[in-house]
Structure 1
């Protein structure tokens, strides 16, 4: 799965499976850290608050999934395993032999498949606000409403519904500019509706419950207790499947727990990489 960096009209891309161009950002220096975003997410969703707290300790690469941003179109359905192969190609593209990996939501599912399919590429995993799928997995109606809102192509309806699904009421009440910040970040990168719907289908089919016992790298599970989209029961299930993993619950935080507490998120990632 050879990958190379490439450019087009002065824009830099990282190479995914089959040479597919993927948009990305890179910053910091230190141990390699691959960041994998969730459904309808992109590199701007990590936020400068988290990246600034990490860049002194990590060489950070945050890429966008196929079909997102300035990269190549994605017109054919894909699986979470396909996205994991993209992640493996990204690691090769940037010149790393392996990396610490932090994936959230859909990106957490990709991280699970990545460590199972390409274990030699992964130093440690951090699974944020995600699930293992299977019969015990719980996806709430809030997530379904968010997808339905995005599917309407009504931008403001999609932004407001996603904001309410992703951030806790506590955070929204304490941060008067939270909705505008969310709107600005969400709309800063092109996210085609058909790609989001394919991501949703891939997430629904995800199931690693019978295979996670094979994971033998350090694992960290991070979840907000007020996550309205992927309830905290999924974190507890992941911990059952990965009993050696460190479980950290962010009390009263929503799905985007790292927005609500970037300092704690960064501290946990740093501690895992040096432990």
Structure 2
């Protein structure tokens, strides 16, 4: 693991960190709502580097040590009615990602996104096709109305901050996450949360602006149909935050996409899912290299 670096992309400065041999093909990892680069766990990044990749993880705008913006997020009513006036869009976040790839991997990178990051990764492949060698969309949807949150999960987005934010997040992952989460997964959350908080330079409002961008997302289906890069769609069968039909619709839209549905996987990345994810990324990147 190398020291953190900073890259300016327009008015946004992105903090990023790399693993692996600089001569290897690059994988860029895009994380989900309000989560910093730390949530791409060190061990997962090392596992990918061990399979012959240069792994780059980064803080999205409004998270961690990247640029934090200002302006409103979204109200509870706006979330419930699916109405938002975002300060920025998923396309803006995709342009951040494309700008980072242009700097760290001018010949292109394999782009992997989870949840919000999946939408950003899709938009990056659409808007910057020359920079995306393959696409892996994890826990994502194409913006066409599929993959809607199950009603019983909506309170997860509306809860007031818990008295103990660490244990509150552990409980949240237990509610939204995969079957067979272990004590090790819970401890991962505690360690990662504390590490992320130690790196955080914002005031906590960035997640609201990112959520507004999600609510205002466009239907990407037609543009996904025009993609030519190899693609993998990985989705949990037990995901109730972005339900599995969102993954199926994504795979159906992208020509030649491989769909992997993981029994028992919810809206998280517990350690037991990592081997399936790593193998899928390797397999999809190999398809790109074979071209």
Q: Does 1:152 align with 2:147?
A: no
**Deviation (angstroms), 1:68:** 1.1
Rounded Cα–Cα distance in structure 1 between residues aligned with 2:195 and 2:207: 16
Match of 1:32 among 26, 30, 33: 26
Rounded Cα–Cα distance in structure 1 between residues aligned with 2:271 and 2:222: 32
Residues 150-176 of structure 1: CA distance to partner in whole angstroms, max 9, x if unpaired?
x537524751453124422422xxx22
Rounded Cα–Cα distance in structure 2 between residues aligned with 1:235 and 1:163: 20
Rounded Cα–Cα distance in structure 1 between residues aligned with 2:262 and 2:129: 28
Distance 1:253 1:211, change over 3 A: same
Q: Does 1:179 align with 2:186?
A: yes
Residues 97-151 of structure 1: CA distance to partner in whole angstroms, max 9, x if unpaired?
31110011111101111111111111110000011112334123455322223x5
Distance 1:11 1:243, change over 3 A: closer
**Equivalences for residues 212-251 of structure 1 within 5 A:** 212-251=224-263
Q: TM-score, normalised by structure 1?
A: 0.87
Residue aligning to 1:17: 10
Distance 1:218 1:134, change over 3 A: same
Match of 2:223 among 211, 227, 231: 211
Q: Does 1:47 align with 2:47?
A: no
Rounded Cα–Cα distance in structure 1 between residues aligned with 2:175 and 2:210: 17
Residue aligning to 2:79: none
Residue aligning to 1:105: 115
Distance 1:117 1:170, change over 3 A: same
Distance 1:42 1:242, change over 3 A: same
Distance 1:136 1:270, change over 3 A: closer
The alignment partner of 1:182 has SS state of helix
* 5+ long unaligned stretches in structure 1: 1-9
Q: Mean alpha-carbon deviation: is it higher for 40-49 or for 251-260?
A: 251-260
The alignment partner of 1:228 has SS state of coil
* 5+ long unaligned stretches in structure 2: 72-86
| Matched length | 261
Residue aligning to 2:148: 138
Residue aligning to 2:131: 121
Contact 2:31 2:114 (8 Å CA) reproduced? yes
TM-align CA RMSD:
2.1
